[in-house]
């Protein structure tokens, strides 16, 4: 009974809310992977190199590039160039790709090519995908990214921010799986969220009070009860245990946290604001609800963490409640300084719907 009520509560709450709502030339310059990719997006400099003007007499100039662009980064660049054949060549033959806005999973390259073409058609001519942060895990080949789309004049196209997570073949570097989530089309305001939190909290407390069922524990949950190996795992484990003080201790005092889900669409600045959000978030969900880390991309050189996750209640995954996140850390303290969570769409439509609305989006953008 508890399993049924808890799952129904979470699904109804989230689906309902979605529906209603100075460079010194005398010193070497080391470019991070983010900087390398920014150069790749906006210049024709070959990968793994950098063009500089000749130093004046008596001065020494050295530019060091930390890493070559991954297949994911090359795929983004190919899409920006509208070279769709090059883009799909970055995927392995047995890949799978899940766009969290649409029904179904893509497993063949012709369909993937049509999907990339559709995305380009509905957006302004000449727009480009710009990567805000990327996490490339050299140990497991996982890659996480957060991004937005810009017009030629540098203005961000509305409703085009999101996160992605990829697994790659460590030998070839080709993409094996991809999962993309985009910001909410219908965004709730603070008043709606507060009212929903109050109603959900009362309902959840009532159902849990009269439930004697013991919660199941998934293999993912058992893994998360182990000693966390990284600051990001420590944060998720603390939240799952509803140990909010420990969760907050994972962040710097001036941390920024942004959420894009059917209940909360907001940006929280500083620990006090983040604490308020975590308390409200916990209040909307049953105590048996946990965020399960499916995969991680830990990039120590960049100080970034890519995360792919899903929600479980009583050990059972909830449909259409998967997501991706990107976190950055302060390298001196090792604490998290920013977080960005994006949940897939609870209500999905066939991808061909893009063709129907393409003329309208041209007018809007």
- Quick: pLDDT tens for 208-242: 444 444 444 444 444 445 788 899 999 999 999 99
Distance CA 35, CA 304 (A): 14
Of 88-102, 188-202, 306-320, the least confident: 188-202
Distance CA 145, CA 71 (A): 13
8 A C-beta contact, residue 252 and residue 333: yes
pLDDT at 191: 56
Distance CA 261, CA 7 (A): 17
pLDDT at 165: 98
Q: Report in angstroms the alpha-carbon separations of 133 from 77, 82, 142.
A: 15, 22, 14
8 A C-beta contact, residue 136 and residue 33: yes
Q: Which of 99, 12, 166, 142 is nearest to 354 (CA)?
A: 99
Beta strands in 100-200 (DSSP E): 128-136, 143-150, 162-168, 175-182
pLDDT at 362 over 60: no
pLDDT at 38 over 80: no
Sequential DSSP letters for 249-273 = TTEEEEEEEEEESSS-EEEEESHHH
The encoded tokens of residue 124 equal 């302004």
The encoded tokens of residue 64 equal 């060091």
Residue 50: band (very low, low, confident or very high) from pLDDT cuts 50, 70, 90: very low
pTM score, two decimals?
A: 0.76
The DSSP code for 32 is P
What is the Cα Rg of the chain in Å? 22
């Amino acid at each position: 009974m508890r399993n049924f009520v808890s799952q129904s509560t979470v699904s109804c709450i989230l689906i309902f809310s979605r529906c209603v709502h100075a460079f010194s030339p005398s010193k070497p310059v080391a470019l991070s992977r983010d900087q390398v990719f920014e150069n790749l997006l906006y210049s024709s400099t070959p990968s793994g190199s950098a063009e500089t003007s000749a130093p004046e007499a008596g001065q020494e100039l050295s530019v060091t590039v930390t890493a070559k662009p991954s297949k994911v980064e090359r795929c983004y660049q190919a899409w920006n160039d509208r070279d769709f054949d090059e883009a799909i060549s970055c995927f392995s033959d047995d890949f799978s790709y899940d766009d969290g806005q649409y029904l179904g999973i893509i497993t063949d390259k012709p369909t993937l090519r049509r999907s990339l073409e559709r995305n380009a058609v509905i957006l302004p001519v000449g727009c480009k995908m710009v990567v805000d942060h990327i996490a490339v895990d050299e140990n497991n080949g996982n890659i996480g990214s957060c991004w937005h789309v810009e017009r030629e004049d540098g203005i961000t196209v509305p409703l085009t921010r999101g996160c992605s997570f990829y697994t790659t073949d460590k030998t070839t570097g080709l993409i094996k799986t991809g999962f993309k989530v985009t910001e909410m089309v219908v965004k709730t305001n603070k008043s709606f969220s507060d009212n929903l939190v109050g109603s959900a909290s009362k309902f959840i407390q009532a159902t849990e009070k009269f439930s004697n069922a013991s919660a199941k524990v998934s293999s993912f949950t058992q893994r998360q009860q182990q000693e966390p190996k990284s600051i990001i795992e420590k944060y998720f484990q603390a939240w799952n245990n509803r140990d909010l003080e420990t969760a907050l201790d994972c962040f710097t005092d001036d941390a920024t946290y942004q959420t894009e889900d059917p209940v909360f669409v907001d940006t929280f600045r500083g620990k006090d604001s983040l604490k308020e959000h975590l308390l409200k978030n916990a209040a909307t969900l049953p105590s048996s609800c946990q965020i399960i880390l499916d995969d991680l991309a830990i990039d120590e050189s960049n100080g970034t963490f890519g995360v792919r996750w899903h929600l479980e209640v009583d050990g059972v995954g909830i449909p259409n409640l998967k997501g991706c996140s990107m976190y950055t850390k302060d390298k001196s303290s090792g604490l998290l300084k920013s977080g960005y969570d994006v949940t897939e769409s609870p209500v999905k439509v066939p991808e061909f719907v893009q063709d129907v609305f393409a003329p309208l989006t041209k007018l809007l953008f």
